[in-house]
Structure 1
Amino acid sequence: MHTEEACFVPSSSTRRRSLVLTPLALAAGLVLTAFGTAAQAQAPRNHATLAMVAEPQTLDPMASTADLVGTIMQHVYEPLYTFDAQWKVVPMLAEAAPKITPDGKRYSITLRKGVMLHSGRELNAEDVVASLQRWMEQAPRGKALAKEVESIQAKGALGIEIVLKQPYAPLLAQLALPSGMAAIMAKESIATPLKDFVGTGPYRFKERRPDQFVLLTRFDKYSPRKEAASGYGGKREALIEELRFTPVPNANTRVEGALAGQYDFADLLPVEALTRLEKSGGKTVPILTPSFGFPYLVLNTKEGVAANQAVRQALQVAIGQGEMLAAGFGDTRFFIAEGNHFPKGSPFYATAGTDQYNQRNAKKAKEMAEKAGYKGEPVRVLTSRQYDFHYNMALLMAEQLKRAGFKVDMNVVDWATLVQRRNDAKLWDVYVTHSGQFPEPMLSPPQLGDGAPGWWSSPAKQAALAAFNTETDPAKRGALWAKVQQVVYDEVPYINVGKFNGLSAKSPALQNYQPATWPFFWNTSIK
C-alpha cells in the first residue's frame, strides 16, 4: 500500500466498487496514512476494538438482513460460496464450483475435506443440508429461494445436491451474500432462537454484553482455503487474537473515538468528519470507499396510506432525490444523483423508468394524491439517527412531502428498533435504509424477493422477475433487468435515492485492512 503525508492516495487496487465489467476490488478505497506512526509507543496487544453503528438486534445471521449482523457474524460462520475482489462467486466451504446438469436444474456440490466446526468435529453434508433448510425457512432471501428449490439432499459425507424447479441464475450469488447469510452451522446447534453459535469461521463466538460489545476469539483449528486472499474469497487467517465489536450509535462519538485512538476501526462516519480525519496528523486513517452503496426508501404496499399504488406514485413525484442526497451527504464527493439502479459499464445499466426519478413536483404530486383518494392521513416515516445520512435525508423528504400536501409523522428510533418495527405492517408507511451495490440485482434490495418488509407482490413483478431469473445467459439478462426496473418505477415498492460513497476510519496500528461493504478483519493484524 502506498503512503503519502497529508493527502489521499488510491491503493493499487482502487476501483469503483459498483462496476461489474471492470475488476471490482473490494480493496477499493482512498486511504490516507502518515509517516512517523510506527514510532508511536503502544503497549503490546493482540486485540482490536471495532466501533460499529449500533447494537446488533440479533447474532443469528439468518434472522436479519441488517448489514451489521452480517459484518460481525461472517467471522463466525461461512457460506458454501463467497465473492472475490471482482465480485465473482468463488467457493468457500465448497471444494469447487458446482457441477450443473445441462438443463440448469441440478447442482452437485462437494464440500472441502477436514473443515472443522467450532465444536471440534468435522463439517459434513448433513450440517449443510440442515443449515440451508433453516435458511430457506427463516431468512427473507432464503424464503424467496425456497420457492425455486425442489429438494436439497446429502450425497454421502461431503456431497450436496440441490435440485431446482426451473433454472435460477442468481442461485450461487444468493448463497454467497454475507447479509441474511446462508450460514453453515453445526446441525446440533440449530434452534430458534439460536443460542449456540457454532460455525467454521476463523473466529469463534466468545461473549456478548448488550450495549457493550460482542467478543470473538481466534479459532485455532480453523481450516483456511489455499488460494490467495481476494475480497471475501481465498485464504483467511485470524492474525488478531480477539475482535471486540463495540456499539457506538452516535456518529460523532465514533469520530471522536477514532481521533483519540480509542478504536482500531470506526464504521460509517459522517462526511463532514473527513477534513478532521485528514488533519489528524496520522492518529487515524480515513478510508473513502467509492460507490459504497445506495440509499433507498421502502414503502409499505400491504397496509396504511402507501398500500394504494396511486398514492405511492404521488409520493415518488413529490420527492427530489438530488436534494435528499445533498442533505444526507453535503459534499458532492460523496454522492451521485442518477435514476439507473446500476452504473454505466454494468451489464444491468438501464434508463427504463428514470423519467420518474428526481421529479420534486409538489403541484403534480398533490393533484395525483387527491385523485388517488388521499384524505390527509399521516405518512409515517420510520428512520434512525444511527446512520446520520438516513436521518438527514428523512428530514428533507418530510419537507418535500409537506409541500405536496402530505401530512408527515416522523418516527425516529434506534436502528435495532427500526429493524424490529419494519416487520409489523401496522407501524409504518415509509422507512429509510441503504444497501451495498452488488453485481447481481437479486441480491438487493430484498424487496425484489418475497416476504421482505414492504411485502411487494404483483403480477407484473412476478412476470418480470420470472423472465429475468430463469434466463442464464448474462448477455440477455441485461435487457430483462430493464423491464424489472420499469416495474419498480411503475409500482413504487421502493424508491432508489442515488449512489453514495462510504467514509470510515482505522488506526495506524490496524494493518492490511481492505475496505469492503461488510468490513472483515481476518487477514488484518495489529502492529
Structure 2
Amino acid sequence: MIYKAKQLSALKSVAMGMALAAALSCAPAAQAQTVTAVMQSGLRVMDPVISTAFMTRDHGYMIYDTLLGTDANFKIQPQMADWKASDDGKTYTFTLRDGLKWHDGAPVTSEDCVASIKRWAEKDSTGQVLMTMVDDIRVVDDKVFEISLKEPTSLLLQGLGKLSSRPAFMMPRRIAQTPSSQPITEYIGSGPFKFVQSAFRPGLKVVYERNDDYVPRSEPASWTAGAKVVNVEQVQWVAMPDQMTPINALMNDEIDFIQQVPFDLLPMVQDQDNIKVEVLDKLGAWTYFRFNHLHAPFNNRLIRQAAMYAVGQEDVLKALVGNPEYYKPCAAVFGCGNPNENDYGKDIVVPANIEKAKALLKQANYDGTPVVILQPTDIAMLSAQPVVIGDALRKAGFKVDMKTMDWQTVATQQSNQKAPADGGWNIFSTYSILATSGDPFGNTTIASNGKKAWAGWPDVPEIEALRLKYARAKDDAERKDITAQLQKQVIDEGVVAPLGQFLIPAAYSTKLSDVLPSPVTVFWNMKKSDK
C-alpha cells in the first residue's frame, strides 16, 4: 500500500509538471521587460460594452482610455478630456487633450467620443438613466463637444468616470457605430497598451504591447486617474489548467503575477522570499446570487424569497474564503462600510432559515420546477458559491440542476434570456467590487428596468423611480434616505441576494515594484527588474 501511494504521488507530480509545461508553452520564461500574469480566467469576451465581466473590463483598461477617471478619493478627474460646466449646470463642454491617437495612428476626435458615449449608454445602467436627462450631444469641432442636460445632475460626470463594471471606454467612431446588441470585432483603442491580435489565443493567452505613442497625464497615478505610464515592453496574460499550476509557476520564477490567489493555497506563497502577497483592492468585494425573473420558478416573488431564506452567508463565506480575517457577513446591497450601508433584510439573507424557506415554497405552491444553477469551475472566487447555494436549495425542497462550465462561458450565458429548459438559466452567482457598489448607479445589480436591466432582468418600476430620484437628489441626507428605500425594495423583490463581503489577495514576484493599489487590476505604473 505504501508503494502504491508513492506511485500515485509520483504520477501526480509528473501530471502537474506536464500541465505546467503546457501552460508555459504559451509564454516564455518571465523576462525583465515582459510581465507574465495569470488572471482570474482566460479571456474570450472582448467587447466591454456587451459584457460586465471583470476580465472583459480589465482587458478594456489595457487598450482603451476613458474621458474621465476616478481617483483613490472617489473624485472624478480629467483623463482624455477636461470639462467646463455652465453656470446653470445644464451644459458641459468637453475638450480633448493634445496627443490622443488611436492605435492605428488616426487622431482621436469628438465624433469618436460622441459615438462611443451613445453606444455605451444604450447598455449601461447608468447611461440608460443619464440619457433620459440629456437634451443633446453636439460636436463643436474635432477636439470639443458639448452635452446639454434637461436638468442639472451629477450623473453625467459619475457615468463617464465610472470604474466598473461597464466603464465608458472610448473607441473609434467606425467601431463605436456597431449596434450595442452586437459584439465589436476590431479592438483598437487609444490606451496605454496595444492588443496583439496575432498572438491572441482565446481563453489561453493574450499579449499587450506598450503603446509608445501614448501620452500620459502629468498627475500621479491614482486608481484610473492620473498618469498611465507603462514601464515594461509587454504584458502577457496566460491561462493555466488548475489553481496549483500558477502557484508553482510563481514560486519557480516562471510567471510574475497572480491576480487572485485561492485562499486555501495562500500558505504556500505567504512566506516565500521572492513573492509578495498583497490585497490590492483595499475596500474589497461583495458576493451575491442573481435570479432569472423571466422564467419559472423565480418569476414568483415568494419563491425568490424562499431561496434567499434558504442560503446562509456564513456557509458561503466559509466555503469560499475559510479565513475570517478575509471575510464578514453583510446584508447591505450598497456595502457595509459604505455611506449608504443599510441592514434591512439581514434576517432574510444572513442566516440560513430552511424552515421559513419550506413554508414559503408551500405557500407559493412550488411544483418542483428544476432550478438551473450555473457553476464556473475555473475561478476560485466563484466556484464555491453555487455549490453551497445548490445544497441549501435542495434542503429547502427545490429540485436543483447544477451546470458546470468555465467562467467565460458563464459570462456569455448570462445574457441568454431563453427558458432554462431551452438552454437558459435560473441562478448564477458572482461578485462586485465595493468601490463601485455604494450607489444605485455604480451598483449594476440594482437596475430593474426589465429586459434592459443586467442579467436576471427584474422589472420593478418603483426601483427605477427611486434611482431617478437619487440622480436628482440635492444632498447626502436625501441620497441616504433614497438608498434605504432601495435596500428594502431590492431585498423584498429578490433583485439581488447578498452573500457577504471579502478581500482578495494577489501575489507577485519581488522583481515587480510600484504595483498600483486599485479596485481594478491595472498594469501601468508597475516596474520590473531583472533580479
Q: Which deviates more from structure 2 when the two are superposed, residues 445-454 or residues 268-277?
A: 445-454
Matches within 5 A, 1:84-99: 84-96=71-83, 98-99=84-85
Residue 409 of structure 2 is aligned to residue 434 of structure 1? no
Alpha-carbon contact 1:141-1:180 (below 8 Å) kept: no
Residue 179, structure 1, aligned to residue 176, structure 2? no
Identify the residue that residue 190 of structure 2 maps to in structure 1.
200
Query: Residue 302 of structure 2: SS of its match in structure 1?
Result: helix
1:506 to 505, 508, 515: 508
Residue 70 (structure 1) shift? 1.2
| 1:445 corresponding residue in structure 2 | 444
**Matched AA of 2:516:** Q
Shift of 1:125: 0.9
Q: Gaps spanning 5+ residues in structure 2: where?
A: 1-28
Deviations 1:104-125 (A, max 9, x none): 4432222212322222232221
- The match for 1:480 is 482
- Per-residue deviation at 1:72? 2.0
User: In structure 1, what is the equivalent of residue 359 of structure 2?
Assistant: 367
Cα displacement (A) at 1:406:
1.2
The letter of the residue matching 1:402 is: R
Aligned partners of 2:31, 2:295: CA distance in 1, in Å? Answer: 56
Query: Following TM superposition, by how much is the alpha carbon of 1:422 offset from its aligned partner in structure 2, in angstroms?
Result: 1.4
Residues 375, 404 of structure 2: 8 Å contact kept: yes
Q: Which residue is 1:413 aligned to?
A: 405
- Residue 48 of structure 1 aligns to a residue whose secondary structure is strand
1:432 aligned counterpart, secondary structure: strand
How many Å separate the matches in 2 of 1:115 and 1:496? 41
CA apart distance, 1:521: 0.8
- Structure 1 residues 44 and 304, CA, compared in 2 at 3 Å: closer, same or farther? closer
Q: Which among 60, 68, 71 is matched to residue 47 of structure 2?
A: 60
Shift of 1:432: 0.8
Aligned position for 1:222: 214
Given that 2:448 and 2:459 are in contact with CA atoms closer than 8 Å, whether structure 1 keeps it comes out as no
- Equivalent residue, structure 2, for 1:516: 518
Per-residue Cα deviation, 1:257-279 (whole angstroms, up to 9, x for no partner): 22222221111121112211112
Q: Which shifted more, 392-401 or 353-362?
A: 353-362
Q: Does 2:494 match 1:492?
A: yes
**Aligned residue pairs, count:** 483
Q: Is the Cα contact below 8 Å between 1:52 and 1:248 reproduced in 2?
A: no
Structure 2: distance between partners of 1:178 and 1:389: 18
Q: 1:295 aligns to what SS in structure 2?
A: strand
> Given the superposition, is the C-alpha separation of residues 447 and 478 from structure 1 closer, same or farther in structure 2, using an over 3 Å criterion?
closer
Write the letter of the residue equivalent to 2:168: A
Output the CA distance in 2 between the equivalents of 1:354 and 1:138.
31
Note closer, same or farther for the CA distance 1:230–1:500 as it changes in structure 2 (3 Å cut): same
Cα distance in structure 1, aligned partners of 2:286 and 2:208: 30
How far off its partner does 1:483 sit?
0.8
Which of 80, 83, 86 aligns to 2:67? It is: 80
Question: Is the 2:48–2:56 contact (alpha carbons within 8 Å) kept by the matching residues of 1?
Answer: yes
Q: CA separation of 1:475/1:194 partners in 2, compared to 1, >3 Å: closer, same or farther? A: same
| TM-score normalised to structure 1 length | 0.86
Deviation, structure 1 residue 514 = 1.7
Distance 1:100 1:492, change over 3 A: farther
2:298 alignment partner, SS class: helix
Could you tell me which residue of structure 1 aligns to residue 137 of structure 2? Answer: 152
Q: Is the 8 A contact 1:168 1:472 kept in 2?
A: no
Contact 2:30/2:255, CA 8 A, preserved across alignment: no
Q: Give secondary structure in 2 for the equivalent of 1:306.
A: coil
* Alpha-carbon shift at residue 210 of structure 1 (Å): 2.0
Q: Is the 8 A contact 2:164 2:442 kept in 1?
A: no
Report the equivalent of 1:402. Answer: 394
Closer/same/farther in 2, CA of residues 224 and 379 from structure 1, 3 Å limit: same
In structure 2, the CA distance between the partners of 1:238 and 1:248, relative to structure 1 (3 Å rule), is same
Aligned identity (percent) is 28
Rate the CA distance shift 1:253–1:139 in 2: closer, same or farther, 3 A.
farther
Shift of 1:243: 0.9
Could you list the per-position Cα deviations for residues 481-505 of structure 1 after superposition, in whole angstroms to 9, with x for gaps in the alignment? 1111111111011101111000111
Shift of 1:313: 0.9
Change (3 A) 1:466 1:142: closer
Task: Tell me the amino acid that sits aligned with residue 103 of structure 2.
Answer: H
- The answer to whether the 8 Å contact 1:53/1:251 transfers is no
1:410–1:219 Cα change, 3 Å: same
Question: Could you list the per-position Cα deviations for residues 467-519 of structure 1 after superposition, in whole angstroms to 9, with x for gaps in the alignment?
Answer: 22221423421121111111111101110111100011111111110232221
2:490 aligned counterpart, secondary structure: helix
Note if 1:287 corresponds to 2:278.
yes
1:119 is aligned to 2:101: no
Q: Compared with structure 1, are the counterparts of its residues 247 and 444 closer, same or farther at alpha carbon in structure 2 (3 Å cutoff)?
A: farther
Question: How far apart, CA to CA, are the structure 2 residues paired with 1:493 and 1:252?
Answer: 36
Amino acid at match of 2:522: F
CA-CA distance at 1:369 after TM superposition: 0.9
- Asked if the contact 2:334/2:443 (under 8 Å) is kept, the reply is no
Q: 1:109 aligns with which of 94, 97, 103?
A: 94
Q: Give 1:283's aligned amino acid.
A: N
Aligned match of 2:316: 324
Provide TM-score, normalisation by structure 2: 0.86
Higher share in helix:
2
Quote the offset at 1:337 in angstroms. Answer: 0.5
Shift of 1:205: 1.5
Contact conserved, 2:283 with 2:519, CA < 8 A, in 1? no
Contact 1:378 1:409 in 2 (8 A): yes
Structure 2 distance, partners of 1:72, 1:406, is 38
Give the gaps of 5 or more residues in structure 1: 1-41
Residue 147 of structure 2 aligns with which residue? 162
What is the letter of the counterpart of residue 166 of structure 2?
G
Does the CA contact (< 8 Å) of 1:390 and 1:432 recur in 2? yes
Other structure's SS at 1:484 match: helix
Distance 2:130 2:108 in 1: 24
